[in-house]
Amino acid sequence: MTDEQLTAEVEAWLAAHWTGAEPHHESFGRDPRSVWLAEVRDAGWAVPRWPAAWHGRDLSDAQGRLVEAAFARAGAPGAGQDRTNLWANTALAHATGEFRRTIVAQLLAGEVGMCLLYSEPGAGSDLAAVRTRADKVEGGWRVTGQKVWTSGAAVADYGMLIARTDWDVPKHRGISFFFLPMKQDGVTVRPLHQITGEAHFNEVFIDGAFVPEDHLLGPLNGGWSVLQTALAYERSVMGDRARGPRSGAGGAKGDLALLALAREAGRLDEPVVRQQVAQAIAWRALNALNTRRAKAELAQGSSSAIMSLGKLAMSRILHEEARVRTMLLRAGSLLEGPEHPRAEDANFLALNAYFTSIGGGTDQIQRNIIGERVLGLPKEPEVDRTVPFREVKAG
């Protein structure tokens, strides 16, 4: 199929199915958005690069982008999940059996909510140090431990969980990866209040919660490699886009938002202002190209150290753009509240930038990854890397 034929087919399908909003559905419990996403999935547009046997169309990356572009022009969601849906990509690569077929289809339609159960109070930057344990029982495992910084835990149906299943081997080799059912006795979720006034994150306490046998992803004790796949997709998304202003003041988005703010403040003719706004826009353009390069070489089920470049760059971009906003507003940036939306946005974005600096691996961890795996620099010493985890000293 030529690019022109593909674009015509996508546009014809959208003209026949997309009305400008997710369709209303009369059945009790059916989310209109999920109804629409299921249509997109069943038509093969949700994951066009995937094989036809897995809801795809076997398209190249370039043609997949044509599908995404057609959906974007129509304002329709759902396409391009083969690049952005970390849950479905991880499940496709590492789940098995009937659970794999069922959960992938549900994830593409947004029929199940998900969260990440990785970080712990004593294992954040060093995820291989997790102490949440999964003990084998009949039909599955019993999980006990604590997780923290978990977005969406209160409404999630499943959590992608890493837990220790072997304490007598070095830390990286005794971890397994599970889809843990969240809505069960033994799972307690408590919100954590952020400096922005929001509470997106949670701490999760797990006390003997059950995870079925077929919810293990990858081999037993081989969860570290599965985690690398999931982290690659998470960092890809975080490096590709980030939250914008909350107020929507001015209406401009992305690169145009800084230009609009400079123009509104009457400062666009100042050489230093123009230079700093242009620098911020240039960084975004460069990062978009790098992220596209990284995704092009990210094969299904693999990981890419180049994703760390994009995530680290986005962190820098967000902090810099917040600084430029503050500079443009001058003393007005000290104001707060909905009656001062420009200052409210500047302050929110300055605080929220730290989310990208921490979530999905801190800026410092990304620098280590880039140094060791991209630049080939010597690894940092790890005195506990070859020690059986049971013998590792912990404070």
Q: What is the pTM of this model?
A: 0.82
- Architecture label for domain 241-374: Up-down Bundle (1.20)
**Mean pLDDT across 4-13:** 97
Express each pLDDT in 218-238 by its tens digit: 999 999 999 998 988 887 777
Among 1.10.3720.10, 2.40.110.10, 3.30.365.10, 2.40.50.140, what is the CATH number of 114-221? 2.40.110.10
Task: Report the alpha-carbon distance of residue 16 to residue 259 in Å, rounded.
Answer: 38
Give me the pLDDT at residue 358, please. Answer: 84
Which of 91, 44, 98, 51 lies closest to 71, judged by CA?
44
CB 175 within 8 A of CB 227: yes
Give me the pLDDT at residue 244, please. Answer: 62
Q: Domain residue spans in the chain?
A: 3-84, 114-221, 241-374
Express each pLDDT in 324-361 by its tens digit: 999 999 999 998 888 898 998 899 889 888 888 887 78
Amino acid identity at 167: W
Say which residues have a Cβ less than 8 Å from residue 387's Cβ, sequence separation at least 6.
170, 171
